[in-house]
Amino acid sequence: MLRYTLFFYFMVIAILPIARSAVVNPKPTTCAAVRSIYHVSQNGYFTLHDSTNKPYLAFCDFQSDPGFAWTLIESLSRTNAATTTFRKSFYYNVPSNECTPNWSNYRLSKAKMSALKQAASSTHFRATCNFDNQNEKGLANRRDYIRVSFCAYNSFFSARNAWICAVVDYINIRGYSCSKCNIPFYSYSNYHLFVDLPQAKVSCGRFNVPDVKSGEDIFGNYVHYHPKFSCTMNSTSTTNWWIGGAFYD
Ligand SMILES: *[C@@H]1O[C@H](CO)[C@@H](O)[C@H](O)[C@H]1NC(C)=O
Ligand SMILES: *[C@@H]1O[C@H](CO)[C@@H](O)[C@H](O)[C@H]1NC(C)=O
């Protein structure tokens, strides 16, 4: 009897994904779902649906990491990223230009970000510099880039006054990179989620970038920054944050 019951469950589990993609198809909530449903491959603006089923326009990247689809959740110029408004951690709701994704001044509402993170297809977050929507691939390479699994770092929406170590998939700062290394993250009321390079040098897995500046912030906050880090090269350089996951064709 048990054997048949298990077999039955196995069949249901095996059939469910097919049934779901056939029925739930029309309302993608993430770029990974857009990719899986419509098999599009070019980066661009696509309609997603939020948790109340309302449509909104989002920027999707299917190109820069093979097999991954990313939804843009925030993109800020260095000047904007350093303002009190945008230094708020993802715990806070600070939407900007939500209807018109904009590389220098854009942030989704917390409700939309939360819905993206909760979607079954979302497994990772990442930050990039100067993502280029005019370029087919979006990123020329992975210089100045970080990618992290939500399993490794589960404080994405927290404001915690502490350094939290997380084993990242990959980090690259000015060409110094490592995979599966332990990096300290910080995010608090007036601190955007970011990494401080001097702190990374002495804590967690001791990631050592040789030419750090005193207090150098990377991927956000930018009270102290280095002009050789491409997100902070000049006042218009951009930092782009994404939520994403693998897609299945
Ligand atoms: C982004 O939005 C700001 C207003 O918040 C505007 O001044 C700027 O021109 C926009 N940039 C683009 C590229 O649309
Ligand atoms: C600012 O930096 C970006 C890349 O970080 C670059 O594309 C742009 O040309 C620079 N602008 C100026 C005025 O130097």
Structural domain for 187, as ranges = 31-246
Ligand 2 atom nearest residue 233's Cα: 5
* Three-state secondary structure call for residue 32: helix
pLDDT in tens, 214-238: 999 999 999 999 999 999 999 999 9
Per-residue tokens: 121: 């297809």
Single pTM value for the model: 0.89
* pLDDT for 5 beyond 60: no
pLDDT in tens, 50-94: 999 999 999 999 999 999 999 999 999 999 999 999 999 999 999
- Residue in 79, 128, 139, 237 to alter for ligand 2 test, most ligand atoms within 8 A of Cβ: 237
Ligand 2 atom nearest residue 238's Cα: 5
Residue 165 located in a structural domain: yes
Residue 52 located in a structural domain: yes
Residue 164 to residues 91, 131, 194, Cα–Cα distance (Å): 15, 27, 11
**Averaged pLDDT for residues 80-109:** 96
Q: How many domains does the chain have?
A: 1
Residue 15 located in a structural domain: no
pLDDT in tens, 154-195: 999 998 899 999 999 999 999 999 999 999 999 999 999 999
Residue 235 located in a structural domain: yes
Residue 108 located in a structural domain: yes
pLDDT attached to residue 248 = 81
Type of residue at 135: N
pLDDT band, residue 16 (cuts 50/70/90)? very low
pLDDT band, residue 148 (cuts 50/70/90)? very high
pLDDT attached to residue 134 = 85
Instruction: Decide whether any atom of ligand 1 lies within 6 Å of the 104 Cβ.
Output: yes
pLDDT in tens, 187-208: 999 999 999 999 999 999 999 9
Between the CA of 85 and the centroid of ligand 1 the distance, in Å, is: 16
Beta carbons of 60 and 160 less than 8 angstroms apart:
no
pLDDT attached to residue 20 = 45
The Cα 77–Cα 235 span in angstroms is 6
Q: What average pLDDT is seen over the chain? A: 90
pLDDT attached to residue 10 = 41
pLDDT attached to residue 133 = 85
pLDDT band, residue 12 (cuts 50/70/90)? very low
Residue 26 located in a structural domain: no
Nearest residue to 60 (alpha-carbon basis) of 31, 86, 36, 40: 31
Instruction: Take atom 11 of ligand 1 and give the residue whose Cα is closest.
Output: 102
Residue 7 located in a structural domain: no
Residue 222 located in a structural domain: yes
Nearest residue to 220 (alpha-carbon basis) of 186, 245, 243: 186
pLDDT band, residue 13 (cuts 50/70/90)? very low
